[in-house]
Amino acid sequence: MRIRDIAEADIPVLLALNNAEAEAVNALSREGFEGLLRTAFAARVAETGAGFLIAFDHATPPQGPNHAWFTARESAFAYVDRVVVAPWARRQGVARALYEDLAALARAERIPLLAVEVNLDPPNPAGLAFHQRLGFLPAGEGKDPRTGKTVRYLRRVI
């Protein structure tokens, strides 16, 4: 599976995909989505449009309380803000490929850690199991004051 940077032409389809999964990743306007892309350490798409990933790093000004949680605790990391896989492409390794692509980009920049949060309330057992399979370990818990969601912070040394 070929993974590349998100291009301007990808935005309408990826924004629709993002907003179809708003419960998991929060809905965005086009301007909000484009803002994430401008700020991102990595904004990557599976070439077939099967999924995408947006990540920030330790040098990015905090992009919300979850990114800020890692910024306060880790000196160098790549933080997965969102990963979304199209329903038709699930269970085909798309998310795993996007994470491994991010890990390669991070290693190339001498970033030793991947970071992410997964919802505990509302519960996301599939997300927790997926990240555990990828080698992520718990690093803490918190509550997002914007959404009221309780999250578990996870980290993986790469």
What domains are there in the chain, each with its CATH number? 3-157 (3.40.630.30)
pTM over the 0.85 mark: yes
H helices of 109-144, where? 125-133
CA pair distance 139, 95, nearest whole angstrom: 21
| pLDDT tens sequence across 109-128 | 999 999 999 999 989 899 99
Nearest to 56 by CA among 124, 133, 109, 134: 109
| pLDDT tens sequence across 55-91 | 999 999 999 999 999 999 999 999 999 999 999 999 9
